[in-house]
Amino acid sequence: MNILGISAFFHDSAAAVVSDGRIVAAAEEERFSRRKHDDSFPSRAVAFCLESAGIQANGLDAVVFYEKPLVKFERLLETTLAFAPRGFRSFLAAMPRWLQTKLHLPREIDRGLEGSYDGPIFFTTHHESHAASGFYPSPFAEAAILTLDGVGEWSTASWGIGRGSAIRLEAEMRFPHSPGLLYSAFTLFCGFRVNSGEYKLMGLAPYGDPRFADVILREIVDVREDGSFWLDQSFFDYCAGLRMTSRRFDRLFGGPGRTPDGPLTQREMDIAASVQRVIEEIVLRMARHIHAQTGLANLCLAGGVALNCVANGRLLREGPFDRLWVQPAAGDAGGAVGAALAHWFGHLGRPRVAAPADSQQGSALGPTYDDQAIVAAVEPLGGVAQTFTDERGIVAAIAAELAAGRIVGHFSGRAEFGPRALGHRSILADPRQPEMQRRLNLAIKFRESFRPFAPAVLAERQEEYFELSGESPYMLVVAPVRGAAPSAGEGLARLSGVGGTLPAVTHVDGSARVQTVDAVRSPRFHAILQAFDRLTGCPVLVNTSFNIRGEPIVHDPADAYRCFMYTEMDSLVLGDRLYRKEQQPPLAGADAYRRSFRPD
């Protein structure tokens, strides 16, 4: 039985196909369209997923959309009436998309499938999709579930219990009181984009002092013991206006928010540290409450706030649960997987057996390209490669490039589903070089210098380098780096004080967002780490996504080759082919390429 799950029309549209309870394929539309956070109907992602399943649309047994648009529209109407007449402008701004598209989902799905599907269309609720994406692929037969995001229909957070093939949601928080909207409001105030810049705010927080945390808790957020909270809406404008925050918010923090290209001051760093501290407290209180209510040992997380890996790290170290599993595509993209799984297990009641690791398959659920496709894509661009005939040869060559201090773009196997590159569409580098963090940020990614990079480490060696018990295969937990102390100084000057044995992946507070790599989920990446360890005595590499600022992660071999040529990457691996920069003919168009992506 083949089920298509769809997430669309808000941000991070995606599709997934589940066949007899197994995730066959999943992909975000942005990878195909090259438009970051693409919210359009995921027609190209759907086509890929159907092809991976070996079927056409008429071979589907069900299509499931990840939320209920009519209930969401009800929220829009009720909110507009509650704030009338002040909310009329935002209502008018939202109406065209609703009237043209969002209120006609069966029609849009039929169009997207080119009229070739005549089966049933189902709708789950937004947080049911998140809960299903968090529990069903997890390694747990029984677990508590916590979902947190901006807003679905009405829910902004929920908790429940998963047992076998059944999920029961027990309680929820409702709009306008929202952990995701709270964090996004501060993201925008600090000059970053909503639904994109939250990672930046999290990365900026260690440069600041949480001196505003008490102000936020006293004036803006009333947090209860169970983690639920009330937001004073006089500080916000997202219910009735076209802004996230109000002038009262500006006055509380000493003036208007930072403009996107404005200088980063200590105020923004302290604000970031403060709201990060508040969101961590909310997550910890919720987890303690859920544990007290359920007595369960395991917790599954999903929803956009579950991508806050700093909060996840504290939850793992300080929280009451023994084990934690976070959906790698925890945001709206993962709703496509959740919707399909919710139908198979929840609606149809099919039996479920939890996989010992998990059933997310390393999140390697996207497209792959064989040697013929690689040659066809890159030869017209003039690519000159050294070809290897065995896996050991290409792995040894990659490790040698990295050990020589060269930066390597690695494109091999199936693309990752979710916002993290996990070795298949990654830029790799030596973490021991003090200048590597700056070089990667400014000459490869073209992004802000303060942003940290993540380490990938052999799973069997992780505790030698990081204070992390348990695995983190999807790079969703921050942990202290062993032997690393917080750097001295204030603000961005702290960057120059990062020391220890892994300076390129150690953040200024002595932490790192860790990916543990095992041979089952990522056999080649594991082998590369082993080979690098044999050459250098270090089983850790820098792993960052294969793209530049504002660009979705590279999709096909031509994307990868252009990104390689238009940045200061030294080497590129496409499957079993190694391209060295000095051997490539010039490729025109670097400036146009960089301008083609809107800064994130």
Asked if 169 and 231 count as a contact pair (C-beta separation under 8 A), the reply is no
Q: What's the CA dihedral at 331, 335, 338, 343 to 10 degrees?
A: 160
Q: What 3-state class would DSSP assign to 236? A: strand
User: What was the pLDDT predicted at 105?
Assistant: 93
Six-digit token pair at 20?
């007899």
Domains belonging to the chain, first-starting first, are 2-126+334-359 (3.30.420.40), 179-324 (3.30.420.40), 371-595 (3.90.870.20)
DSSP 11: S
pLDDT band at 490 (very low <50, low <70, confident <90, very high): confident
pLDDT, tens digit (0-9, with 9 covering 90-100), for 197-238: 999 999 999 999 999 999 999 999 999 999 999 999 999 999
Count of CB atoms situated within 10 Å of the CB of 432: 19
User: To which H or E segment does residue 516 belong?
Assistant: strand 511-517
Q: CB under 8 Å to 508, separation ≥6 — which residues?
A: 206, 207, 486, 487, 494, 495, 497, 498
pLDDT exceeds 90 at position 588: yes
pLDDT, tens digit (0-9, with 9 covering 90-100), for 301-327: 999 999 999 999 999 999 999 999 999
User: What was the pLDDT predicted at 5?
Assistant: 98
> CA-CA distance, 565 to 594, in Å (whole number)?
12
> CA-CA distance, 502 to 178, in Å (whole number)?
37
Count of CB atoms situated within 10 Å of the CB of 449: 11
> CA-CA distance, 59 to 116, in Å (whole number)?
9
pLDDT exceeds 90 at position 535: yes
pLDDT exceeds 90 at position 411: yes
Say if pTM beats, i.e. exceeds, 0.85: yes
- Owner of token pair 């400036």: 591
Query: Nearest to residue 327, comparing CAs of 3, 12, 2, 1?
Result: 12
Q: What 3-state class would DSSP assign to 223? A: strand
DSSP 481: B
Answer positive or negative: Cα dihedral of 500, 504, 510, 511.
negative
Six-digit token pair at 53?
């399943």
Arithmetic mean of pLDDT, 359-376: 97
pLDDT, tens digit (0-9, with 9 covering 90-100), for 268-305: 999 999 999 999 999 999 999 999 999 999 999 999 99
pLDDT band at 261 (very low <50, low <70, confident <90, very high): confident
Asked if 281 and 223 count as a contact pair (C-beta separation under 8 A), the reply is yes
Q: What's the CA dihedral at 270, 276, 282, 284 to 10 degrees?
A: -120
Cα 334 → chain centroid: 9
Arithmetic mean of pLDDT, 431-458: 93
Phi, psi at 49, each rounded to 5°: -65, -40
Phi, psi at 250, each rounded to 5°: -55, -45
Question: To the nearest whole percent, how much of the chain has pLDDT over 90?
Answer: 90
Kindly give the residue spans of alpha helices, DSSP state H, lying in 160-229.
179-189, 198-204, 213-215
pLDDT band at 85 (very low <50, low <70, confident <90, very high): confident
Mean pLDDT of the chain: 96
- Given the DSSP bridges, would you call strands 121-123 and 386-387 parallel, antiparallel or unpaired? unpaired
User: What was the pLDDT predicted at 491?
Assistant: 87
pLDDT band at 368 (very low <50, low <70, confident <90, very high): very high
> CA-CA distance, 62 to 390, in Å (whole number)?
42
User: What was the pLDDT predicted at 380?
Assistant: 96
Query: Nearest to residue 550, comparing CAs of 200, 176, 233?
Result: 200
Residue type, 391: E
Residue 131 half-sphere exposure toward CB, CA atoms < 13 A: 32
> CA-CA distance, 187 to 191, in Å (whole number)?
7
Query: Nearest to residue 548, comparing CAs of 528, 562, 531?
Result: 562
Name which residue leads in pLDDT, 96 or 561.
Answer: 561
- Given the DSSP bridges, would you call strands 121-123 and 62-65 parallel, antiparallel or unpaired? parallel
Question: To the nearest whole percent, how much of the chain has pLDDT over 70?
Answer: 100
Six-digit token pair at 255?
């003036």
User: To which H or E segment does residue 483 belong?
Assistant: none
pLDDT exceeds 80 at position 599: no
The least confident of 393-407, 465-479, 490-504, 549-563 is: 490-504
Count of CB atoms situated within 10 Å of the CB of 229: 22
pLDDT exceeds 80 at position 132: yes
Asked if 4 and 49 count as a contact pair (C-beta separation under 8 A), the reply is yes
User: What was the pLDDT predicted at 112?
Assistant: 94
* Residue ranges with strand state E in 432-490: 454-458, 477-480
User: To which H or E segment does residue 135 belong?
Assistant: helix 126-135
